Amino acid sequence: MPKYKFIVNPVSLKENHKKFLENLKKKLAEEGVEFSFECSTLENAAESIARKSAADGYDVVVACGGDGTIREVVNGIYKSRSVLGILPLGTSNDFANHLGIKRLKDAAEKLFRGKPKKISLGMVELKCGNDKKKVLFCSTSGIGFDARLLKLNNMKLFLKLKKIFGGIVYPLFGLFILPSYRSNEVDIKFGGRGVKSKLFMLNANFVKSMSGMKMTPYADVGSSSFNIFFAEDASMLKKLAGFAWYSITSNKIWFKEIHHISEREINQFNIRNVKRFSVESKTPIEVQLNGDFMGYTPAKFSIIPGALKILI
């Protein structure tokens, strides 16, 4: 019988989540499943716990939290024999929603009756302080406006409001910072093709929707190339119209500043099937991975097809 490690992010836990986990522990004990629960802390992050769990021979390492917790666990078990499991206890749960896992009961069922499926990962080398580091992600990534917004996750007040009001705080704070946000001059290299742009926001995703915004409709967790949403600087009216549009539909809005790059879409750069790209800028620009602010440009992205197994 597989051995399970549950890594819990206590920050986003609500009372119903705590009750669900307590009931799950009782059920696992009654059925004789070998398991262990551990909460992540600033000193003992989920990535470290996951890495040790993989080394200790846990067959399934379960990320109990949102996309950020999943990213940490993925970075911890990558290149091990451990399989990823998820219990979506976060705010937006973009990764779980893409997989059709919307209820905790369904998520728990997949942990014990699901089949392993290979997913792709993105590897990003970016600037963090005075150093460079490489980080894996499996859900969303962003350079520019959304990464600036997600940097607010480092603020205690923002985290408290997010826990009380949920994902609605993102669009509210987004509207607040939008008038003061300034786009940046960048050099983007999509493989061998160079593009100069005044960048507002760029997302390379494995999921179709990020916090309700349907920007990458052809994205998939098993994709062998990046699905990219690329927005150049535009008027305030166009920015507001774009946010409203993509919150309702995944159909492309035909603004000249908006570009979609995937295996299936035609764009003005005639670029498709992107497996690696880089973004450089004179002024460092914020970068987010799986919904967490991670660092700054310059950033180099590459895709690793079929890099990890998940129970689904």
Domains and CATH numbers, the chain: 4-114 (3.40.50.10330), 122-305 (2.60.200.40)
Query: Among all chains, which residue has been given the structure tokens 């007040």?
Result: 157
pLDDT attached to residue 261: 93
- Cα angle: 79, vertex 38, 56; to 5 degrees: 40
Regarding pTM above 0.85, the answer is yes
pLDDT of residue 154: 67
224: three-class secondary structure by DSSP: coil
| Per-residue model confidence (pLDDT) at position 162 | 64
201 in Cβ contact with 210 (< 8 Å) = no
Taking the alpha carbons of 248, 249, 254, 259 in that order, is the dihedral positive or negative? positive
Res 255: pLDDT: 95
User: According to the model, what pLDDT value does residue 244 have?
Assistant: 92
Q: Which two tokens stand for residue 288?
A: 């987010």
- Quick one: pLDDT at residue 176? 78
pLDDT at 123: 98
Nearest CA to 139 among 150, 127, 154?
150
What's the pLDDT at 155? 67
Contacts of 67 (CB under 8 A, 6+ apart): 90, 92, 93, 94, 95, 139, 140, 290, 291, 292
Reduce the DSSP state of residue 174 to 3 states and report it: helix
Per-residue model confidence as pLDDT tens for the chain (312 residues): 789 999 999 887 888 999 999 999 999 998 888 999 999 987 779 999 999 999 999 999 999 999 999 999 999 999 999 999 999 998 779 999 999 998 999 999 999 989 999 999 999 999 988 899 999 999 999 999 999 988 877 666 666 666 666 666 677 777 878 999 999 999 999 977 899 999 999 999 999 999 888 999 999 999 999 999 999 999 999 999 999 999 999 999 999 999 999 988 878 888 888 999 999 999 999 999 999 999 999 999 999 999 999 999
Spatial distance between the Cα atoms of 147 and 201, rounded to a whole number of angstroms: 8
